[in-house]
Structure 1
Amino acid sequence: MNKAEKKHLLIYAHYYIPDVASTGQIVKELAEGMLDTFQITIICVVPSYGGVVEEEYKKQRFYYETIHGVDVIRIRVPEFTKADKVSRVKNIVSYFFGAMHATVKVKNVDYVFSISQPPVLGGLLGVWGKWTKRASFIYNIQDFNPEQILAVNYSRNKLVTNSMMFFDKFSCKQSDLIITVGRDLVETVNQRFQNKKVPKTVMINNWIDEQEIYPLEESHEKIQEFKRRYHLENKFIIMYSGNLGLYYDLENILKVIEQFKPDTKTKEGKEVCFVFVGAGTVQHKLEKYVQEHQMSNVVFIPYQKKEDLIFSLNAADVHWVVNAKGIKGVSCPSKYYGVAAIASPVLGVLEQDTEIRSIIEETQSGLVVEPGDYQKIKSHIQWFIDHAGSKELKEMGKRGREHLVQNLTRNLSIQKYKEEILKL
């Protein structure tokens, strides 16, 4: 089927490659994976996930690219600082109105697909696309807002949060299909509508490309290079890899980590090291706390290039997968898929009956604890230290990888997306 014969799918994605946002990576793989079925156009911002816009993207309002067969329209947005709410709002609003304008430039659209980022506005863009293009609207909800904002006390202004709920429910009602990423998130849709006139909703898991991210031997040259670069040789590494943001209770988890002094060692004599790879809103607070409390066994490392992610992930002995209290049914930590892909045991801080906790429990691929139970988090950390290098840890990781390969592959999930869209 040539490009002209395919149905045209327009996707709104706040971030897209080369930005490292997890949703941008998911949309990239989804778009490229559906090119055999659809002609695809992406509307997104210029590369700017870290807040900085390169000079080459400051000269005009729109930029047109084709990346791996996907047509991309990029919108110039103002720079921002993640800790500065005003600058972030200006950035997001600029994307929203720019995307509305860019929609007019796209011709002959059959389907509009919008992801739930930025909060609420992502859904409204989908409605705009549906109305202006007279197309079917698929709303992909990765995170629910205002529920997520309320869960972490980001805002308690009822006028703001009630307005957000009104508009996002409106987007849900206008959708022809809601696709969300966890069993608990499907339940949130039902609760929003009190199980009455609930919009059509299906659950399709997120994924990682298991052929791109997979287990490597510890002796691999690139892993050893990563460890040397950050002075992690001969360490037992407990790693958090991803966004250092508001939704993970990392500040309190760091206080638990503080109880493991820099001279803590495994039975094999390896020093225990807690590694944070990524960036985000609370990064500076975490770094300041570590410095003030002389926690030399805590290391912060910048986001790794996509092609190097396999090496940084494989450098760890255990991986955190965490969410703050109240995130149940609101968000699903996609970092789990990368952790499972490299066959790492999981230290999960996740609420009961959430999608990822359920997978970890069903596969016995790690230890899980309720958010806020800091004493049990401490005991789980100690358990992993006590079992460092054991067959038990390796079997945990192996079970997670096997389940992912059988049930959570990129191809399986993308095929489900294609099937559900074509039903409309």
Structure 2
Amino acid sequence: MAEIGECSASNSSMENWAKLIPTDKMYADIEINSDETVIFSETKSTSVEKHEWCKITRNSDLNTATLQNRSSNAIIVDETLVQKDETTFIKCGSEIVSGPVRDVDSNGCFSEWLKRSQEKHTNVLCPQCRAVVQFVGRNHYLLNIAEDILQADSSLRRSVEEIATLDSCSLIQSNLVIGSVKKRNQKRPHFLLGLEESGGLELPCPQCGTEYAGFRCNPHMVHLQCHECGGMMPSRFDTGIPQHCLGCDRAFCGAYWEAQSLQRSDIYATCSPETFKPISRRTISRIPQLTHENNRHEQDITGRCISQMGKTLQDVISEWIVRFSNREIDRTRMPLNHAEMITAETPICHECYEKLVGFLLYWFRISTPKYLLPEDATERENCWYGYACRTQHHNEDHARKRNHVCRPTRSR
């Protein structure tokens, strides 16, 4: 959608090469005849004040153009989110839409984007990260923060008329579940339009509609969708029970339902507690494939080294988890989010646990004296690029002949 605009360098003698056609018929088409044009937008329907919205530059191939976001809010171009000052290519037929705004009144804008996406595609993709959207709901934590900001600076707040207009466009009056992440969960409704008590509507989690373990979801409850099983659980901050993996920030329901003493059934999708539990309660019997940058030769050396020492993989990992918790290890290269917050008692998912194991095995190897390594490993020279070497991934001979469990001594 293009609002009323004007060119930054109009030249009536030049031939028009593009046209922006607004979806709202109250605005006129914008003909573009300059190789570089800035489009302006109105701040309010009743205001003459205008601000830069985007700049469109004709590309050298004469068939495409580059759009730069010049506004303070995002712009959605062909369902891709373009933030302030970012650029993207556009072509004939590209759809340009005003994206989510930076305050709490963005529901109408989001609803318009959601409606268009569902009309065009089987799966709805997030305009920010392009992942398939599974769930839509209000984030009350962020809404409270936004409200505090608006109270501190009332000039940022939209007018009553603008809010009313956006609300009239809003399709999302309660939380929505969009699609599912597992085939076994396809019997679940694609859309949850409300948390009703009637038996005709399948409810998203065991605590919806019925009190369970002393808790019942209210009609406006925000739900989280488990990354592992696709099931739903209420988003709660009052229990102290972790619902997100600190290593990857994804939601997992295993710990929550274990704390609720929920017995697994075929009615609701729920995870085993094994899928999401503290690091100290996890065990491992094989070296993860991603260890030592997926270099199988280094993995083999590490495995033989552990055996020669008369230990098991679990013995070594248990020892290094203690060192990790005692902060004896530099966490700079730790491949997990919130690295400084993670301890032995932090619940993480299986995928993040394998990343942690790989990280600890790197420290085990570089801390092991050479005389404890297998003989064929001690004869190798260090690769200049160490663990950062790219050649080890496509050259077997190089991966085998050089030690890559070492720090880089030369940068590329």
TM-score of Structure 1 vs Structure 2, range by shorter chain: under 0.3
Structure 1 or 2: more helix by fraction = 1
State the TM-score, normalized to the length of structure 2: 0.24
Which entry has the higher C-alpha Rg, 1 or 2? 2
Q: Which has the higher contact order (CA 8 A, sep 6+)?
A: 1
